[in-house]
Structure 1
Amino acid sequence: MAEITWIKLKTDMFDDEKIKLIERMPEGDGILIIWVKLLAYAGKVNCSGYIMIAEDIPMNVEEMAIIFNRPLEKVRYAIQVLQRYRMIDVDENERVCISNWEKHQNIDGMEKVRLQTAERNRKYRERKKQQALQAPESSQNNEGNVSVTSRDGIDKELDIDKEIDKEIDKEQELLKEESASPSSVAVVNPFNFYAQNGFGLTMNDITREKIVGWCNDLSDELVIHAMQIAMERNSISWSYAEGILKKWHSKGVKSLKDVDALLAQFEAQRAQKNRSHGNQRTENIPEWFGKHQAESAATQQKANEPIDFEAERAKVLAKLGGA
């Protein structure tokens, strides 16, 4: 249903009692924005009103906060309010679904698309059948120029129908692949990346809050890139990835280009440091330092000479006799 690109919003929707009650709430405007975003997303994925990341992956509250670009606590509050007024339903698997989805769904548009697809398939089938029936029904061998029919007319028509069905299926599959947007097939977000790459089988509330916070402060892209770096360094843990994010935040990083620039700066500084260590260090020695070194060497040499005790004794006695 990739062709379905709009939903119905009634012009008197703001006259609804539930909408009026929500408008009077402190966060009323934010709740209504989230409500419209839920409607739009449900229409985009077209899963009978369910809010889904992919066909078999329901979107949880943390992922809504990222995709809707709203603080997590406000999304949680909005879900509680909308559920209380029965504008949405949350099943036992925590899948969020728009209540009375048929009120908002483009039923007429869906029917129109269905009829157009059926008519296109009918014309395609008729065209392929005519081409097959007009093709030569016999072939000539190289020796005898003898006509050989492969099967009778009824069997041939049945085989043509089977081949046409196969080609129609292939064509429709290609159309789905080409028309499906990335967000309608699968949304790569930090929560999916965390779960799919060994950072943890489960995620506690503290880690969820941190991931949402970093996505708001930096971006989903940078949070995922930090986890990728942690994987490359064989340090698959959220604490390691968060350390990278803290460093980027302190350096004013806002995008992957900033990360590349920071890395280039680090490499340049390291290369400069290696060059400076490679050069031999030479300094001018002061004159006084040379004299000090000579006196120290003479003193050390004299200290190392053997002592003549008799000569020293004679000097002492001569001094005493003179006194």
Structure 2
Amino acid sequence: MANKKFFWIKLKQDFFNDPYIKLLRRMAGGDTYTIIYLEMLVKSASTDGMLYFQGAGQDIAEELSLILDENVEDVRALLAYLEAKKLITHPEIKEDVFLVASADLTGSETDSAMRMRKFRERQMLQGNGQASLSYADVTDRYDKKEIEIEIEIDKETDIDIDKELDIKTDLETDKQKLENKQSSVVTNSKALLLKALQDNGIFISPQSIAFDNLVAFYEDDGMEIELIIKAIEVANESGKNNVNYVNGILNNKLSRSILTLEQYEKDEQSWQKKQSTKKTEKDLTPEQAKWLADRQRKREQHATS
């Protein structure tokens, strides 16, 4: 069973009394900026306070406006304010944003921990069972048999949780063994991709979704690392130093089941040959073009006979 993790932000009682927030709200459109700021905090809760630029927009402001469904100028004005007040930083890449307040406001809990916490809360309530029963004798609101059944159900639940934890431990052990076998290959492949990106003027964070999407061509689609690196080099040679252009090349090849560098080069040679043929045909006179077409037709008829 997958062990999900839930995240949330928890505002302190004096959040809106913070001088930076009060100043933000006094600005023209400040209430809107405050809401967008809260949306950004929620969005960053599961990424340790980071908002990664994926390349969907021209910059992080445009991209956040699309993700949060907010006006781009409002987002841009908010980012300028937050940067001026040092409430955001850019740890590695200029477009990636780290929200300084996120660490103090973010909470998280796994679903198994949540179930265990609720189970312990029920146990604590049952610890006060004598008082509840004596009250039930007077008011007739609770039935002793029902309480005993509920306690028995909770005992079974406790056993189920223990079994689930044992199964989860076994699965995690098997998963860890598999990951240990694959880690050296995967890590080396990611390092090669990151170096190729940097060597060709494409700078993205190895923790970004854009980089994960690029790695997915290798891990999920089965493409050779050499082919992905070739696409990065082609993008640089074309003056398109961005991940979106690289993705476009790879998606085009993937749609035609081209997964290796050898297949890529053969495909490029075939395309160059077709282009050369088209150029030659343009230079022919009408008579020469007709003769060439007749010759090609006779060759095809001979091949099928």
TM-score normalised according to structure 1 size: 0.35
- Structure (1/2) with the larger helix percentage: 2
